Amino acid sequence: MIAPAVSPDGRAVVFMLSIRGREVEGAIARDALEEHFWLPRSANAARTLKTFENGRNRIVAVAQRKLLARPDERLSLTANDFVARKRPLAGGDSRVEDGVERT
């Protein structure tokens, strides 16, 4: 398995994801790490990779869902992929996925 790496322009972390027997290259935008994983804007490459590793489980879960929904597209995660979305509950109530709001 190839270790995650900061892209040459520093704007993403590139990683490999194994899903359904195939290896897929993915990337998560630096701004997503800053906005949803508390990466400081001034962080160097080592800190960026540490932040990725700390959030790896959530990042991989979102990447897998996106890849299953759009298998023919390049796997590129942005801050929008981590925004909580409301889903209806039984009885017409709603809740926020990945968040706390529940009604």
- The pLDDT profile of the chain, 103 residues, written as one tens digit per residue, is 579 999 999 999 999 998 888 899 999 999 999 999 999 999 999 999 999 999 999 999 999 999 999 998 999 999 999 998 766 666 655 555 544 444 4
> CA-CA distances (angstroms) from residue 21 to 7, 18, 24, 27?
25, 6, 10, 19
CB neighbourhood size of 15 (10 A): 24
Q: Domains along the chain?
A: 5-96 (3.30.160.140)
Report the C-alpha gap between 25 and 34 in whole angstroms. Answer: 21
Partners of residue 88 on adjacent β-strands: 94
Q: What is the per-residue pLDDT for 2?
A: 78
